[in-house]
Homo-oligomer: A and B are copies of this chain.
Amino acid sequence: MTSQGGTRQPKYQRIADALRTAIQAGEYGPGDRLPGENDLMATYEVARMTARQALGVLQNEGLAEARKGAGVFVRAFKPLRRRGIERLAREQWGAGRSIWSEESEERELVVDQIDVREEEADGRVCDALDVPAGTRVWARSRRFVLDGKPVLFALSHLPSDIVADSAVTQVDTGPGGTYARLAELGFAPVHFREEIRSRMPSADEAERLSLAMGTPVIHIVRTAFAQGGRVVEVNEMTLDSASYVLEYDFDA
């Protein structure tokens, strides 16, 4: 009687299925506590590791979240809407508004872990910026924390020969941000390309974004082009997938 008792499915999957069904039926709402390891051991007559494995399935699916010493809870989602195209319209940053003001209405946005430095671009960045190997660039990295929850980490690279003497090299880039400064320097971005990937986070990323198990990250690489086609910025963003829905609006 070690494994299946006539059925094809492993015990831990059957237990996970039962819990998942209960969640979807609304028996457990967002934030509710699920039956714990001890409960499952008793009701299903299985060993600790088996009950654990069942709860692990739900966590890996992103449906549940374990809190040490407290229990396993149904996760709640309330993602931000990020309008990929509107938010970069010239009027937005031209008017001195932050690109962030719209999507963080009524919520407390903190930008921390800010780091601004000049360095020699590595191969990957040179490729993206379309500059020769070893070119000097400014690197700006920062983390966005919304209502106490880290939601995004951004790493931006700009060629030094363009931004060297501007506020882009400062922690505070001033009204309208980096793109307003680039415009003043005669390198206003006129075209953008965003590449989107999704994958599971590294342990490092999971920590920086306080990600629960079973939470992928969305990776966006935005390339900004000035008139004439020169690349003026490459911005790599890593987002908590549970905190975002991306939106792109365009004509046929």
Pick the interface stretch among A101-109, A137-145, A240-248: A240-248
Cβ of A189 < 8 Å from any Cβ of B? Answer: yes
A51 to chain B, nearest CB (A): 15
Complex partner residue of A196 from B90, B248, B250, CB under 8 angstroms: B248
Q: How many residues of A contact B (CB 8 A)?
A: 45
Complex partner residue of A189 from B89, B192, B252, CB under 8 angstroms: B252
Given contacts A49-B49, A60-B60, A241-B216, contact A252 B192 (CB under 8 A): yes
A191 to chain B, nearest CB (A): 5
A90 to chain B, nearest CB (A): 5
Cβ of A198 < 8 Å from any Cβ of B? Answer: yes
Given contacts A49-B49, A216-B241, contact A250 B200 (CB under 8 A): no
Q: Assess whether A196 is in contact with B245, with CB atoms less than 8 Å apart.
A: yes
Given contacts A195-B247, A247-B193, A247-B194, contact A200 B62 (CB under 8 A): yes
Q: Which of A148-201 contact B (CB under 8 A)?
A: 188-201
| Chain B positions within 8 Å of A90 at CB level | 252
| Chain B positions within 8 Å of A246 at CB level | 195-197
- How many angstroms from the CA of A189 to the CA of B249 in the assembled complex? 13
| Chain B positions within 8 Å of A114 at CB level | none
Given contacts A61-B202, A250-B192, A251-B190, contact A245 B79 (CB under 8 A): no
A59 to chain B, nearest CB (A): 10
A244 to chain B, nearest CB (A): 8
Q: Assess whether B195 is in contact with A252, with CB atoms less than 8 Å apart.
A: no
| Chain B positions within 8 Å of A202 at CB level | 61
